[in-house]
Structure 1
Amino acid sequence: MRRWTAKGAFLLICLPVLWGLVSAEPVDSYVSQIKEKAEPVWSFDDLYARIRQEAQKRGESPIDARIDRVWKAIPGYDGLQVDVEATYRLAKRKGWTEPKQWIYRVVPARVTLDDLGPHPIYRGNERKPMAALMINVAWGTEHLPAMLNILRKERVKATFFLDGSWLKRHPSNAKRLKEAGHEIGNHAYSHPMMSRLSRERMRFEMKKTEQLIRQTLGVRSQWFAPPAGDYNQAVVEEAARLHMKTVLWTVDTVDWRPTSTPEWMTARVKAGASNGVLVLMHPTDRTVTALPQIISVMKHNGIKLGTVSEVLSSSRVESVEPAPPF
């Protein structure tokens, strides 16, 4: 009797192993499948079930960067997903019967601007509540202090695209831009119509300005803004060879035109105010007058203002509550 019991026990212990040897799948795979099918004990909790059900409504899928027929390269936007287990554990620890705080994790976009290759960029992602002021600087200095004061007062960071010849003449003014925390971009050296140049001359225009930016300000440009918005595919490719992306604008204030009044400029920005827009302007007296109103328009529409790098990244930004109208 004892001998039979021992044999039976031996067979009972070895049966899973023997089954693994004769079956198509190894024992380790069989065990792992059981573990995958098994759910945590707390998954049967009503609170956990409610959190998991609600999480499906609260998530936001990421948007991949893409090529648009009109707007060319458009950056992606990271998504959000509720961390069900972390939200559940927090609620349990706090003794809540319903989740009062949701914990999220970012879901990165799979395709980025870098994956698209050399293409011009006119705007950020339409789901990102953010916009940027692109300020091209190729002449004068008299209006820069007033613009800097307004930006400082409004706590707005902009991207200044510097003409190389201007930078060479006004290094101290350029340093003030950087010291104020603004982003610096490349605007070629002599303000030429870039599409009319040879590739060699294109590289010269961008490279000479980039060298000046590095020597004078100690930073590297990520963005190239072609003068007058004039470019062709060769310009975009040569900028990419210098590790810069070619950026244009979504809304033009046309502030260089003497007949453009601050009121007209503000109305133009208001008509185009939306997520991801890039607003072009220059340091003129009209821009100084219009700038506070333009900033107010964006805030009223719940759009945060930042640098071109911030707007064109796929990183998420917290939604901005609309401000009262100015």
Structure 2
Amino acid sequence: MSFRIVGLLFICLSFFTGLGLAYLTVNEAVTVNKDDSLYQKIESEKSNYEWEAEDAKIDSVWKKTPGIVGRTVDVEASYKKMKKEGNYDPKLLVYKLVRPKVSLEDLPASPIYRGHPEKQMVSLLINVSWGEEYIPDMVEILNKHQVKATFFIDGAFANDFTHLVQMIEEEGHTLGSHGYKHKDMAQMSKQEARNNLEQANDLLFALTKEEIKYFAPPSGSFNTGTVEVADEMGMETILWTVDTIDWKKPTKDVLISRVMNKIHNGATILMHPTQVTVDSLPVLIEKIKAKEYKISSLPKLLSEER
């Protein structure tokens, strides 16, 4: 083949690629034969590998619950890949993701207790209105184990310990609001709750320049108006399903047992900056991972991804 012809071919390929038209690969050039036993095998087996998408919903017990993506088998694309290899292999199946029709954002105001029950992931929720002396060690342990947590910071704490709040954010952890001065939100009117949350959010925004998306009511105490105000301010109200009760100063073994006896898919694990939490955290993380749970920040736990 002359250099002139080669040059023309290169120009043509460049032209079609520039138009966004990828030229055929060997895989794409395979002719689909639906009568082929390989095609029929994929068709008959596909249901074993497909997942139904599930919409976000308001559960009667667990309240606002995120949805989760589904997937279907792309039979023709799977056939082309397997035909090229010459045999049926489930590892070569090609999938299409199916998004839920209803997301968390579509639901009315309601608290969130957990992630999706099919999601093998948990999240550490750290409520902070005291215990500043323990936070550097907790952050160091989390970083060492490559774990991201969600810290719910009291506005008054943020005002007094700005360097700790900024350190937490700089290390890639998620920041949420714990209200202002650890007040009982259940005893507040909607306007009082709004004033409290705005005061906390203003302080946190001043430090991070990030909008706060999550709110953990102090002591888990709230009323309907609390949740509605948080929703109107663009925040989800977050509770928990597993409690370390670390503020009562249990032994390390008791704290770890409390968590490991109740851990489950989508669990939210509540803790505080205490000495026993610092002492327990390395072993707790290892035990959770040994159970094959991923530990991720709240946004990932609540996402629709599996």
- Scaled by the length of structure 2, the TM-score of the pair is 0.87
The CA deviation at 1:151 is 0.4
Amino acid at match of 1:98: Y
- 1:88 maps onto 2:84 in alignment: no
Spell out structure 1 runs of 4+ moving beyond 6 A.
Answer: none
The CA deviation at 1:182 is 0.3
Partner of 2:262: 272
Distance change >3 Å, CA 287–CA 46, structure 1 → 2 = same
| Residue-by-residue CA offset, 1:39-87 (whole Å, 9 max, x unaligned) | x852222211111111121101112222222211111111122121221
The CA deviation at 1:268 is 0.5
Partner of 1:263: 253
- 1:169 maps onto 2:160 in alignment: yes
Match of 2:185 among 165, 174, 194: 194
Distance in 2, matches of 1:314 and 1:130, equals 12
Amino acid at match of 1:265: L
- 1:178 maps onto 2:169 in alignment: yes
Distance in 2, matches of 1:242 and 1:98, equals 53
| Residue-by-residue CA offset, 1:122-153 (whole Å, 9 max, x unaligned) | 11111000000000110132111111111011
Distance in 1, matches of 2:245 and 2:185, equals 20
- 1:304 maps onto 2:281 in alignment: no
* Structure 2, unaligned runs of 5 or more: 1-30
SS of the residue corresponding to residue 196 of structure 2 reads helix
Distance in 2, matches of 1:77 and 1:261, equals 37
Identity %: 39
The CA deviation at 1:97 is 2.0
Matches within 5 A, 1:26-45: 42-45=33-36
Determine if contact 1:273/1:301 at 8 Å carries over to the other structure: no
The CA deviation at 1:95 is 3.1
Partner of 1:245: 236
Q: Name the Cα RMSD after superposition.
A: 1.3
| Residue-by-residue CA offset, 1:216-269 (whole Å, 9 max, x unaligned) | 1121111110000001110000000100010100011011113x1111110000
Larger radius of gyration: 1
Amino acid at match of 2:45: E
SS of the residue corresponding to residue 134 of structure 1 reads strand
Partner of 2:69: 78
- Scaled by the length of structure 1, the TM-score of the pair is 0.82
Distance in 1, matches of 2:130 and 2:37, equals 67
The more displaced of 82-91 and 151-160 is 82-91
